[in-house]
Structure 1
Amino acid sequence: MQNGPAVRRRKLGAELRTLRTGAGLTSGEAARLVGWHQSKVSRIETGASGAKPADVRLLLDAYGVRDAQLRELLLMLAGSEEAGDRHRWWHAYRGVLPPTYRDFISLESQASAMRTLETTVVPGLLQTPEYARAVTRAAVTDLDDERLDTLVEVRLARQDVLRTERPLRLSAVLDEAVLRREIGGPEVMGRQLERLMDAARLPQVRLQILPFGAGAHVGLTGPFVIFSFPSTSDLDVVVLDQLTSSLYLERKEDLMAYSEAFDTLRMHALSPEESLDYIAGIGDGA
């Protein structure tokens, strides 16, 4: 288990190693091509040291990588500003957001797909402003109004990933408790349920409800998020949120276990069409 920066460093190094071997080069040959010592290539590939964007660009050129989407992703993992404000808008909030939250937003903005199980609250990408305010106030103690406004603003800005030219594909399984827990009062909750139904109709969103009638399920251990990335599955990562930190799981065994768990949850959940009806019924007081 790693923190966000360590995961990105290791993922970047592993992908660069794959690209080097795909180009038919040894680490020594790659080093000579870019004018480095072989040990620097090795340290980057093992994640022992970070790689500057300029370093990554040199290596990608040496390996003949022309895929623009893959280059952009790897440069962002190295901390490049080239992608512009669309991918790094949260830097304006560095003084407010804890590092673990910034890491999560960074992964979310770079991912092509996100699978999430939520057992307590509506996923941040689908929250209304009023619901987000109520959740944030309950989760973060001693907030003044200005900081609360900023955190809600960030939560809403994150939702832009669903509205870009290449939107994030979101697949969410929500335990029925998410719908039944009245956060912010009946009016706020009513608008939140309407927001869920609107989101569920988007082509890039697949929303399923896991009703109480499904009984015990693998998701009882807690919520999780699986991020998938364009061009390569080797960068995929599982994120487990805790009260004061987040855990990042990157081993293939962990990814497989959580992917299988999510597939099982989807099988036991209502279909997207049935889920829409179910949310509407709860909204109507059924």
Structure 2
Amino acid sequence: MWHGPAVRRRKLGEELRRLRVAAALTSAEVARQLGWHQSKVSRIETGRSGVKPADVARLLELYGVDDPRLRALLAALAGSADGRADQWWQAYRGLLPPQYRDFISLESQASAARTLETSVVPGLLQTPEYARAVTRAALHGLDAARVDSLVQVRLARQEVLRADPPLRLSAVVDEAALRREVGGAAAMRRQLRYLVDMAQLPQVRLRVLPFSSGGHICLTGPFVIFSFPHISDLDVVVIDHLTSSLYLERKEDLEAYGAAFHTVEAQALSYKESLNLIAGLADGA
């Protein structure tokens, strides 16, 4: 189990090592050609130290990597793992705990996300008033200005669904989350109608896990699986707790959570049935 930056450093290092081997270069040869100490190459490849995006660019140039998306992804991973302040969420450093900034950076770089939600609507599909009600409930006693800022962050995160290319979101939402009146009955109706609208987007796949499905493998709680373009080994599972987040990236963890998501998806209602249920709840049926 790792914190977000450590996950990215280690996985970035593994990918850079793979690219070096594919280019038939030794770490000593790389160090000599770039004017570095060999220990620097070793520390980068083992994830013991961060690497600047500019250094990643030099390595990729040396390895003959010309795929623009792969270069951009690895540079972004290097920047976020080093804590660079050139991403939008860094403007909220004084407000957001490190684990939330880590989560946002993973979300912004991922090509796909699979999420199971058992008690609330997924954050990327929340209306502003629903997000505000969730924030007030989860962080009781927070002043209005900080609540507003956190809601702004939540709405800014949703831009990944409108990016080019957009994040592909597959969400399974427990029926309980849809029946819980967060923010009051009127706000909840608007949230449910918004869910129906968002589910029309080609990059969003929304399914409801009904009460009738009974006990299921994910009763232990919600999770998110992030997948990344080009490099499947960068995939990571994120599990939130009240005061922290866990990042799981071992092959066994990814396989277990991937299988769990597949299982609950199979137990969920079909796309059409899910939308009918949500629309019915919105209309008070």
> TM-score under structure 2 normalisation?
0.96
In structure 1, distance between residues paired with 2:99 and 2:107: 12
Output the CA distance in 2 between the equivalents of 1:203 and 1:76.
26
How far apart in 2 are the matches of 1:215 and 1:5? 38
Correspondences of 1:70-109 after superposition (within 5 Å):
70-79=70-79, 88-109=87-108
Separation in 1, partners of 2:135, 2:63: 46
Per mean C-alpha deviation after superposition, the further-off stretch among 43-52 and 203-212 is 43-52
The match for 1:250 is 249
Preserved CA contact (<8 Å) 2:209 2:267:
yes
3-state SS, counterpart of residue 79 of structure 1: helix
Q: What is the match of residue 143 of structure 2?
A: 144
1:268 equivalent to 2:259? Answer no
Which residue is 1:222 aligned to? 221
The alpha-carbon deviation at position 170 of structure 1 amounts to 0.2
Q: Distance in 2 between matches of 1:281 and 1:97?
A: 36
Corresponding residue of 1:62: 62
CA deviation after TM superposition for structure 1 residue 284, in Å: 2.3
Paired letter, 2:39: S
- 1:129 is displaced (CA, Å) by 0.5
Structure-to-structure mapping, 1:79-228, within 5 angstroms: 79=79, 88-228=87-227
| Alpha-carbon distance between aligned partners in 1 of 2:240 and 2:67, rounded to the nearest angstrom | 33
Q: In 1, are the aligned partners of 2:129 and 2:187 still within 8 Å (CA)?
A: yes
Query: Which residue does 2:18 correspond to in 1?
Result: 18
Q: Which runs of 4+ in 1 moved over 4 A?
A: none
Q: What do the CA deviations read for 1:77-100 (whole angstroms, capped 9, x no partner)?
A: 1117xxx99x82111111111111
Question: Counterpart of 1:38 in structure 2: which amino acid?
Answer: Q
CA-atom RMSD in angstroms: 1.4
Q: Secondary structure at the match of 1:147?
A: helix
Paired residue for 2:44? 44
Segments of structure 2 that go 5 or more residues without pairing to the other structure are none
Find the aligned partners of 2:48 and 2:13 in 1 and give their Cα distance.
9
Q: Give the equivalent residue in structure 2 for 1:284.
A: 283
Partner secondary structure for residue 2 of structure 1: coil
Letter in 1 for 2:172: V
Partner of 1:9: 9
The one-letter code sitting in structure 1 at the alignment partner of 2:60 is L
Q: Indicate the percent of aligned positions where both proteins have the same amino acid.
A: 71
CA distance in 2, matches of 1:33, 1:142: 57
Cα distance in 2 for partners of 1:97, 1:19 equals 35
Please say if residues 189 and 281 of structure 2, whose CA atoms lie closer than 8 Å, have aligned partners that are also in contact.
no
Query: How far 1:22 moved relative to its partner?
Result: 1.3
Secondary structure of 1:220's match? Answer: coil
> When the two structures are aligned, how many residues end up with a matched partner?
282
Counterparts of 1:280 and 1:112, CA distance in 2:
29
User: Tell me, which stretches of 5 or more residues in structure 1 are unaligned?
Assistant: none
CA distance in 1, matches of 2:227, 2:194: 25
CA distance in 2, matches of 1:219, 1:196: 22
The match for 1:239 is 238
One-letter amino acid matched to 1:54:
A
CA distance in 2, matches of 1:242, 1:130: 23
Deviation of the 1:56 alpha carbon: 1.1
> 191-200 or 15-24: which moved more?
15-24
Secondary structure of the structure 1 residue equivalent to 2:232: coil
